[in-house]
Each structure stands twice: as structure tokens, then as C-alpha cells.
Chain A
Amino acid sequence: MSLTKFDYYAPERVEDACRLLMEKGEGAMVMAGGTDLLIKIQRGLLKTQTLIDLQKIESIHDITFDKDKGLSIGAMARLNDVANHPVIKEKFPAVSEAALATANVQIRNMGTVVGNLCNAAPSADNAPVLMAMGAVVNLVRSNGERQIPLEAFFQGPGLTVIQKGEIVTSVFVPTPPAGSGASYQHISARGKVDISAVCVGVMLTMKGKTCQTARIVLGAVAPVPMRALRAEKVIEGNPISKEVLEKAGIEASKECKPISDLRAAAEYRKILVGVLTARAVNEAAKRASKKPN
């Protein structure tokens, strides 16, 4: 590939990165793994004069877990670090599975979960589960910070609420309540490495055999990852029976708004949404039953 010319900085502190972003103005961009960003620069989709590499900022490489609060995934935590992290595998298996479902080994060794979110592709593999689990994005700027629910983070394909001079330093996932379970289901034309044609993240809270709360998030079937609110209502207050799963799938299928593109036709995506929603709800319920409240 041939990249357009840019200056390169690798600051060691978040505040230096924020300051550089402000100083260098419009053409300044931050890079985590670079696996999406460098392709966009190469294709001329982004005009970059200054590239600010975040890899030397040690504090944002961390993955930390506090059982009372939750899981924090730093902006430089690589997809494979998240996929293989023992605590994430044990306590947040769907988060690990979504990271493992992203691209191929090499890209997972380079790319990051936070980068996957900031790239804001409608098909981002890590978005549905994190959104279903109520994740919160931590944004830092020179004179402060703010926390935004992931559900309010995406504004359109490639667009987020990140303001000029802001950097996402981590994404936080609250510890799921007892009796809850989550699942990630995805499908693509070419198995393990292709971008998902449809992806679904679900988190349920169960009391006995009855579902108390459901959050269903659909990816790659709307401009941003979307809640399937009507499908959630079908499940809440009911046992996870075959009929309920089928009804929830039909509702989710109706409420999604897919387009046809090279990865799948809109009609096919709608069918897949039904199938994957039912599978994800079913798996989330099974996982919930393994740690009852």
C-alpha cells in the first residue's frame, strides 16, 4: 500500500495526545491498532496530516476487573488480549467471543476492541454484546472527561459522539447481575475471517425460568448497532420457550432496517436476524441458568 504523507507522534501520556490533537487541528488523528485507520488513509477516505499513535501510553493498555464494579478495557488492549483474558473468558464469555470473532489472527494481534468501536462500522463485532451489557465509553480531553453509554455513542456509519480533541481511553462493562447471561452470534459469507453480514448480542436476566430483563442488539442491519426493543418486550416476563424464541426472532426481523450489499441481501439479512436472535437469546438463557440469583 502507499500512504499519503503525514507526521507521526507517539506521546507517552493521554494529556499529551489530547494536546497534540488540539494543536494540530483538522488533519490530526489518533491511532490504536491502525488496522482500519491505515486502510482508510490509503484509500483516500481520510485526509491525515498528523498521526498520533497511542501505543506508548502505558495506562491505556490495561484490562482491569473489579468484581463490585466491572471490567475496564483500555484503548490499547488488543482484540486477542481481550479474547484470551482469563477473567473475561470466565466472567464475560460473550465479550471474549465477540473479540475472537473479529477479523483474523494477525488483525486481532494489532487491532483493539476500543478501536473497533471508534471505527463505528455498523457491523462492528464488539459493539452488540458490549451495548447489550450496558457498556460505557470513557472519553478524555485536555480539560476533563465524560462517560457516554455505548448505546448513545454511535451516530452513523463511521460517526460517533467523539468531539475534537477527545480520545476514548477505555470502555467499561458493569459486572452483570446474578442470574444473567449473555451471548454473541454472528454470520458471514466466508466463515471465520470475513466481516459479519449480521451479528446479534444479547443479555438476559432470569428469575427461575422467567426472563426479567432482556437487551437485544442487532449489528450490520442499520446505520448503527440497534436495540430490538419489540423483541425484548416479547421475551420479558416470559419463560424462554420455543414459541417465545420464534416470536422474538420474528419481531427482531421486522424491526431491523438492513440494506443489500456485497455481504448479503436485505431480505436474507432479515431472515438471519430472526435465526441469530433466537440462538443468542437461547444461549444467554442457558448461561444465566448456570449462575442463578
Chain B
Amino acid sequence: MKQLVTLNVNGNTYSLAIDPWRTLNEVLREDLNLTGTKLGCGDGDCGACTVLVNGRSVSSCLTLAVAVQGKEITTVEGLAQSGEKLHPIQEAFIEHGAIQCGFCTAGMEMSALNLLKQNPSPTEEEIRTAIAGNLCRCTGYYKIVEAIGDAAKKMKV
């Protein structure tokens, strides 16, 4: 049976009637049309679906939408909310060439945000650990690691 839920996504409130077995990933992409968040493996291994719930990164493919009512959900669309100025993490990814096919990018950026909120000056090792749950098949990670290090500096200014 469908349940009435209220979701708070990127500061906007959405009221929806959804089946309890639907994942947050499905509801974000199919009901709210927020397709920046990707679906990769569906098993919590690849990180392409990463979003923040109450400030902590989670796999939206393993999160039930009914279970995150009343929580603050941030997707990649919430990074540059004005639609004009990019978030420093996004700027750094572009400047460092950390995006190739782009499929992992949203998840990488959300994992980067999760890290930099807790640790504003991460070491390279800490950056690599923080994105260990985000797979990229294009870049070899080096440029992503550089971009996150640079984003840390940008966010302090």
C-alpha cells in the first residue's frame, strides 16, 4: 500500500504517495526528476548513487524512501543550488580534469562533500579512503584526488 511521505531534498519539501519498497534512488530519479544522482551497481559497492542524509553520505540504492522522511537529503543538484555559481568541489573537478564519462562524478562529489564537512584539511591518504566506496573506470582516480585536495583549499577561503 502506498504511504504518504514528505521528503526534504535540497531544502525543498515534496509530498508524495509512494510504495514502501521503493528506494530513495528511484524516487529521486523517477518521481522528483533529480537525475543527477546515478544508479550503478544497486548493491552499495560503486558509490554512483551517493547522496547525503542528515549530512552523512549514504548509498541511495540501499535506502528506502519511506525511511528518510523528515531527514535532510542533499543530492548533487543541491551543490549549486542557484543554478549559476558552481560549488567549489564542482569547480575543482572541472579545473583538474577529474571528469571523463561523468557517471561517477555526482557520487564522487557527494563523497568529497561528506569528507570535507568533517575534515577540512584531509591528507591524500584520507581523501583516498573517503572515496574508496566510489568507483571510477575512466580517470585512474589521480585527478579526482587532486581535485578534492584543491576543493578543500577553495572551501577555506
Question: Which residues of A are interface residues toward B (Cβ below 8 A)?
Answer: 1, 3-8, 10, 34-35, 38-39, 42, 51, 53, 55, 80, 103-107, 109-110, 191-193
Contact = CB atoms under 8 A, between A and B. Distances in A.
B19 A5 contact: yes
Given A8-B3, A39-B62, A55-B67, A193 B132 contact: yes
B47 A104 contact: yes
A106 B63 CA distance: 11
Interface residues of B, number: 29
Interface of B: 1, 3, 19-23, 42-45, 47, 50, 56-59, 61-64, 66-67, 111, 114, 129-130, 132-133
A10 B44 CA distance: 23
Chain B interface, >50% SS class: mixed
Contacts of B21: 3-6, 8, 51
Contacts of B44: 35, 39, 103-104, 106-107, 110
B64 to A, nearest CB: 7
A10 B62 contact: no
A235 B21 CA distance: 51
A105 B130 contact: yes
- Interface hub of A35, A38, A80 (most chain B Cβ within 10 A): A38
Contacts of A34: 62-64, 67
A131 to B, nearest CB: 25
Given A7-B1, A38-B62, A105-B111, A191 B43 contact: no
A109 B66 contact: no
A42 B42 contact: yes
A1 B62 CA distance: 8
Contacts of A3: 21-23
A171 B104 CA distance: 37
B58 A109 contact: yes
Given A6-B20, A7-B1, A110 B62 contact: yes
A109 B3 CA distance: 25
B57 A105 contact: yes
Given A1-B23, A3-B23, A107-B133, A193 B45 contact: yes
Contact of B57 (A51, A103, A109, A192): A109
Contacts of A106: 44, 47, 50, 57-59, 111, 133
Nearest to B129: A192
Contacts of B133: 103-107, 193
22 contacts: A1-B23, A1-B42, A4-B21, A6-B20, A7-B20, A8-B20, A34-B62, A34-B64, A34-B67, A35-B59, A38-B23, A38-B62, A39-B43, A51-B20, A51-B64, A104-B133, A105-B111, A106-B44, A107-B59, A109-B57, A192-B129, A193-B132
